[in-house]
Structure 1
Amino acid sequence: MDKDAPTVAVVGLGVLGLVALKNLTEAGFNVTGFDRNDYVGGLWHYTDEDKTSVLPTTIINISKERGCFTDFPFPHDTPSHCTSGHVQQYLESYVEHFNLTKSLRLGTTINIVKRDDKEDRWIVDIEGSGPEYFDKVIIATGINSRPHLPALEGIEQFEGQVLHSRAFKRPELFKGKKVIVVGMGNTGADTAAALCGVADKVYISHNHGALVLPRVLNGIPFDHTMTIRKAAIMGFLELNFPKLADFLFNTMLKKMQDKVYNIRPEWNLSPAPPVKHAVPIISDNLVSLLEAGQILSVNGLKRVSGPAEVELDDGTLLEADAIIWATGYKTEFTLLDRNVDPTRHTTPKWESAIGSRGKPLPRLYQNIISLDHPTSLAFMGCVAFATGAFPLYDLASMALAEIWKGNSNLPSIKEMNRAVDRQHDFICSIAKDGSAAPGWVRQGEWVDWANKAAGAGVNEHLGWGLKGWQFWFQDREFYKLLMDGIYTPFVWRVFDGKRKAWGGARAEIEKINAEVAERNRLKKVN
């Protein structure tokens, strides 16, 4: 590492921080990663402590073929939908493979990150050792930092347990109890399922419907049906005919659901809100548990009506020994000095929208780059669309590395502010009609920006321009495999460009598609 290279502090060493550290290091920066835990992996590392983490029983929702990093596949003997333990091992192997250990400062608590304008540097104040100075900072503490706890009338008189799903670790502690899980999302479904066979009664309380999708459809991971060609078509429609794009996407998902599950009216799962308001629940057992009566679907909570009783929106009274809030998180940046906190100015339209639910809306260019200090402060964790976090933030940090390296240009501050205003208008238009994730973006538009900034060359080689026609003419078989095969993250490392390509990308893409095709052939034969 060049000692004169710009120094970068990455705060948080979960998935987002690890991939940012790796990509910035690869681009020639002198990077140090900090985490208050004594392990890497963030929420993918199970812990009994009251910290956000997976459960030992957690199974990934996105297949390993589509949910990995762009230049580091899962071991080939790993199941497509593996356990959280597999993911933790994968992340530890990632650190070892790219020789990142020397750049990690684990078990380190940061008090505050603030700007020293006089020295044109960032001060990272570390508990127990004082300030250290860096040229640039990436905040990668993620979106699962502060539990979102809705207000509930009368909660002070409830004598049972009240906890956020973050603190739910051991189902056996609820043996024989009547438990209400609040929130019909992936976390709520997983929490309720984990309680079955242990708790006396398991209720799942919700105010809206939901789509429920299996991990595997017709013997194939359902996300294998998404191809680059389909993503390109949806991106074009999303940008030019957004209502049609929403209709087609939601219709396609509902057809997938109805092909596998018979959703009963009494569960109040239909009609499901559009994906932009609520992502589908990925579960292999929620429907069967509802059918068996092991999970009871009930209306939203209205108030606590007694020491061990709650009233629902429809007037129903339920006995309860515990309430578990599976209601998500609020993004917060309390480690940052308020003067550079991107949430310090919130768009009024967002605050008044019913779907904002009190969550902050950061002002960030492309939901990554600080408008206060675009060349030295960035954030990982504020971009969201229907894909996995691993490839999304791999691409995001590749783009950031090339921008900070000077290989890709940023617009003027005025233009970046206009872009943020447009993004906020977009997300506020969603939030006025229902729940909205603050980081939700138009997928095709954002990916096109990130591809260009990272210099990955994917849209150029698979598009309608000269490079696209040349690639198609010279390598038609591989072109078709990229367009219509499994949309693997390795595509972002195939072509030479600004960022480092991976020499094994093509072979891995061909291998994965061949292996999956053979597995599918054998299933049909048997």
Structure 2
Amino acid sequence: MRRCVWIPVPVIVGAGPSGLAVAACLKEKGLPSLVLERCNCIASLWQLKTYDRLRLHLPKKFCELPFMSFPQDFPAYPSKQQFVQYLEAYANKFDIRPVFNATVVSAEYDQSIGFWRLRLKDDRNDEYVCRWLIVATGENAEEMVPEIEGMEEFEGTILHSSRYTKGDGFRGKKVLVVGCGNSGMELSLDLCNHNAIPSLVVRDTVHILPREMLGKSTFGLSMWLLKWLPISLVDSLLLVVSRLIIGDTAKFGIERPKMGPLQLKNLSGKTPVLDVGTLDKIKSGNIKVCPGIQRVRHLSVEFVNGNTENFDAIILATGYKSNVPSWLKEKEMFSEKDGVPKRAFPNGWKGENGLYAVGFTKRGLMGASMDAKRIAEHIEICWKSEAKQLSSALISAASLKL
């Protein structure tokens, strides 16, 4: 038998930074919430599925959640451990206490009663019924594992970057890193620093920018320039300065997209790589750049250019994806193809029947914070309106009795 539990407050699915942000915004307006988390800790992606050397790619002032700054003694680019400390302090400050090990396996709007029904996979196999449902599982809920011919034949080690911690276990080994985003670049650097022999698959074009330009963070400088100049001109300036600082990346097998980095980010969500030292290792030959993979064999990899090379391990730095289609039974707000809101930022935070989304903006923590504030403001309006209607109904009922 399944127990049905009425939840009179907004239900937030996911206790990552986005879920914590919207819970805090609601708390600031005097509204409680219930946060459900499938793992046994907050920010499970950061705590359980990231490598040790990870730091925030953007300066801390651009990564703050609403109503709380980072400690002043934290560096400009906090480490993974420092960011987790910040999130734990954030949860304590706003008294956010998620229900852990509570996986939502199904959520569906029941037209007959006008509420959401959430079925949980927990010790009691409960069903929750609520008025407001906030999806905060984000863009990075599940690992993306590409289908590569022959991968099941490989006799060496294959792992996704979510299981990589540091490179000391690969010392002296030839490792192929698949994926040239920020994670792939940093893993290659970490392997190199631990005396492994890394190669990096660069299948597509990618923008590589220095993390800092002219003594300022590249991101911060971009945001400042966008206040005064059109995005196309800012892109042109970024590329000119990048070429002066890091040179022509095409010489090392890394072609740039025709579209500028900021325009490409807005259009597709593809984030430019902010270099933290990997490019120097590529220039020196310590990290080899390889083209796309044709197929994998027992202890070797054949590339699309016809070359074949032996490897001891393959690390898939191929990113993550949304898991919303696997549990949310809704077709209007979220795309069934990629599990993100169909409406682009800044309009993807609100659906119908009390459904909301936070953490799907492709604009990092800044985008999540903006959506969290919008959601809290909208729920506050609904809450007060419905409370007023209920109060009026009770007064009317009392008057009839009199």
TM-score by length of 1: 0.64
Q: What SS is found at the alignment partner of 2:83?
A: helix
Gap regions ≥5 residues in structure 2: 1-5, 384-402
Residues 466-523 of structure 1: CA deviation (Å, up to 9, x unaligned): xxxxxxxxxxxxxxxxxxxxxxxxxxxxxxxxxxxxxxxxxxxxxxxxxxxxxxxxxx
Of residues 248, 251, 276 in structure 1, which corresponds to 2:236?
Answer: 251
SS of match in other structure, 1:85: helix
Q: 2:183 corresponds to which residue?
A: 187
Equivalence for 1:30: 32
Contact 2:106 2:329 in 1 (8 A): no
* Structure 1 position 233, deviation (Å): 4.3
Q: Secondary structure at the match of 1:187?
A: helix
SS in 1 for 2:62: coil
Give the percent of matched residue pairs that are identical in Structure 1 and Structure 2: 23
Instruction: Note the C-alpha offset of 1:254.
Output: 1.3
2:171–2:194 contact (8 Å) kept in structure 1: yes
User: Equivalents in 2 of 1:269, 1:15: separation in Å?
Assistant: 33
**Aligned ranges for residues 219-298 of structure 1 at < 5 Å?**
219-227=215-223, 230-233=225-228, 237=230, 245=231, 247-274=232-259, 275=261, 276=264, 278-298=270-290
Q: CA deviation at 1:302?
A: 1.4
CA distance in 2, matches of 1:198, 1:5: 51
Within 1, Cα distance between the matches of 2:156 and 2:381? 57
Aligned to 1:368: 349
Measure how far apart 1:133 and its partner are. Answer: 2.1
- Please give the alpha-carbon distance, in whole angstroms, between the structure 1 residues aligned to 2:271 and 2:368: 19
1:199: Cα distance to partner? 5.3
Q: 1-side partners of 2:178 and 2:362: how far apart?
A: 23
Give the gaps of 5 or more residues in structure 1.
48-52, 238-244, 347-358, 409-526
Residue 209 of structure 1 is aligned with which of 197, 205, 212? Answer: 205
Residue by residue over 1:121-169, the C-alpha shift from the partner in whole angstroms, topping out at 9 and shown as x without a partner, is 2222232221222211111111112222222222232222222211222
Larger strand fraction of residues? 2
Aligned counterpart, 2:381? 406
- Residue matched to 1:303: 295
Range moving further from structure 2, 192-201 or 18-27: 192-201
Pair 1:74-2:80 in alignment: no
SS of the residue 2:27 aligns to:
helix
Match of 2:119 in 1: 125
Residue 57 of structure 1, CA deviation: 1.2
- Within the alignment, does 1:377 sit opposite 2:371 as a pair? no
1:404-436 per-residue CA deviation (whole Å, 9 max, x = no partner) reads 33389xxxxxxxxxxxxxxxxxxxxxxxxxxxx
Retained in 2: the 8 A contact 1:60–1:82?
yes
**Deviation digits for residues 222-269 of structure 1, max 9, x if unmatched?**
3332455x33445xx4xxxxxxx3x32332221232232134544122
TM-score, normalization by structure 2: 0.83
Q: Distance in 1 between matches of 2:250 and 2:93?
A: 50
CA RMSD of aligned residues (A): 2.6
Amino acid at match of 1:326: A
Q: Deviations over 1:10-57 (max 9, x none)?
A: 011001100011112323433011112222123222x3xxxxx32221
Cα pair distance change 1:344/1:211, threshold 3 Å? closer
* In the alignment, structure 1 residue 84 sits paired with structure 2 residue 80: yes
